């Protein structure tokens, strides 16, 4: 009952925040102008976002493969990694609670016969790498563009969070022989959750071992910067669809960074509201694009990205013989596995 109450509260909070951001993005807009912008858009440019979206997923899978192979000490086939990634990103688009973040490591661990806890940890390392790339982009746009104060504050916040998270992960991994025994004593006193953490924490730290390998970190940092650059190009092609007079790469990086910061806030599935607000703020506040054009851009790009990730995810969901209901129950399945029981 407590779990259901917590889940309901999380869902309502996400829906409420999405509603707020959507209202902020759309308030005061002239819908006749937006309809005119949409009818005049060159959708061939929007169509380019599909192959770019597929390629970004492939690049993410390549980066994840490096981390998985380093952490598990053996080769991992590309197909289960790409399949799990496609399904995971699709799940984030159509299901609440960002269940895709659970689906990705669970599916690749199941299909490639990997340790679940170690695989989960590689996803944490991925997030640290994404934070690093976004911090670089955010600091860059603050230095070269006249951004609103809250964007500058967000850039500093991302940089600080990246440093803290990386430092903590590095310290725990390097000093595991000293740190883990202390943590073991603490977890031993925690009912219910403590025994599960005790069983999995060593495997989890194994999954973060790539952080201590300079060669692996250089490779994955390079991949991360490249991935987010390609994502920025994907955002930039939308400028051509609407004939927006903004710097192709510079504005693409700015929109990418602001949207990434916006969607980090709890939201409804598909990041509705936060995505639109991020696009509008980046284009209107930084580059002086009209509100109607900025909102039109956000709606077209969001629809294109949603369609790309959902269609690709459904293909692999069917291939795996799974359903959306299976994905929605994955958090319970992972909890069962964590307790050392067989999943249902």
- Give pLDDT tens digits for 27-46: 999 999 999 999 999 999 99
Backbone torsions φ then ψ of 128, nearest 5 degrees:
-65, -40
pLDDT above 50 (res 251): yes
149-191 confidence digits (pLDDT tens): 877 888 888 889 889 988 998 998 999 888 888 887 877 777 6
How many Å is the maximal CA-CA distance in the chain?
65
d(CA 164, CA 142): 21
List C-alpha distances in Å: 31 to 34, 190, 245.
5, 55, 21
The first and second tokens of residue 132, run together, are 């690093």
Report which DSSP code applies to 341. P
Q: How far is CA 121 from the centre of its chain?
A: 15
In this prediction, residue 181 carries a pLDDT of 87
174-233 confidence digits (pLDDT tens): 998 888 888 878 777 776 556 666 667 888 888 888 999 999 999 999 999 999 999 999
pLDDT above 90 (res 328): no
Give the CA dihedral 50, 52, 55, 60, nearest 10 degrees.
-110
Low-confidence winner among 74-78, 108-112, 336-340 (lowest mean pLDDT): 336-340
Q: 81-109 in b/e burial notation, b at 16+ Cβ within 10 A?
A: bbbbbbbbbbbbbbbbbbbbbbbbbbbbb
The first and second tokens of residue 178, run together, are 């000293």
d(CA 54, CA 252): 18
Contact of 222 with 61, CB cutoff 8 Å = no
Q: Residue holding tokens 């883990």?
A: 180
> Which residue ranges make up each domain of the chain?
30-338
Report which DSSP code applies to 343. P
pLDDT above 50 (res 344): no
d(CA 233, CA 245): 15
257-301 confidence digits (pLDDT tens): 999 999 999 999 999 999 999 999 999 999 999 999 999 999 999
* Model pTM score: 0.91
């Amino acid at each position: 009952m407590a779990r259901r109450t917590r889940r309901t509260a999380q869902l309502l909070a996400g829906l409420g925040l999405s509603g707020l951001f959507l209202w902020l993005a759309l308030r005061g807009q002239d819908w006749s102008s937006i309809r005119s912008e949409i009818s005049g858009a060159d959708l061939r440019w929007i169509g380019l976002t599909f192959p770019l979206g597929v390629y970004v997923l492939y690049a993410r899978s390549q980066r994840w493969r490096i981390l998985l192979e380093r952490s598990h000490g053996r080769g991992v086939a590309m197909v289960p990694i790409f399949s799990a990634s496609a399904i995971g990103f699709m799940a984030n688009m159509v299901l609440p609670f960002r269940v895709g973040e659970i689906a990705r490591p669970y599916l690749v661990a199941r299909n490639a016969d990997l340790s679940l806890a170690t695989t989960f940890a590689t996803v944490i390392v991925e997030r640290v790498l994404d934070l690093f790339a976004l911090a670089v982009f955010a600091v860059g746009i603050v230095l070269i563009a006249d951004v609103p104060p809250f964007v500058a504050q967000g850039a500093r916040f991302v940089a600080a969070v990246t440093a803290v998270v990386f430092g903590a992960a590095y310290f725990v991994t390097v000093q595991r022989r000293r740190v883990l025994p202390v943590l073991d004593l603490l977890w031993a006193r925690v009912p219910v959750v403590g025994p599960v953490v005790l069983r999995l924490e060593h495997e989890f730290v194994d999954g973060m071992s790539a952080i201590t390998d300079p060669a692996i970190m250089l490779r994955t940092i390079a991949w991360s910067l490249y991935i987010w650059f390609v994502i920025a190009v994907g955002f930039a092609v939308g400028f051509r669809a609407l004939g927006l007079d903004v710097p192709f790469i510079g504005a693409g990086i700015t929109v990418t960074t602001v949207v990434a910061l916006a969607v980090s806030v709890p939201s409804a599935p598909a990041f509705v509201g936060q995505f639109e607000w991020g696009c509008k703020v980046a284009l209107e506040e930084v580059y002086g694009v009209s509100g109607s054009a900025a909102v039109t851009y956000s709606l077209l790009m969001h629809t294109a990205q949603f369609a790309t990730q959902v269609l690709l995810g459904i293909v692999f969901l069917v291939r795996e013989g799974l359903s959306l209901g299976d994905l929605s129950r994955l958090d319970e399945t992972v909890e069962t596995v964590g307790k050392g029981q067989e999943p249902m």
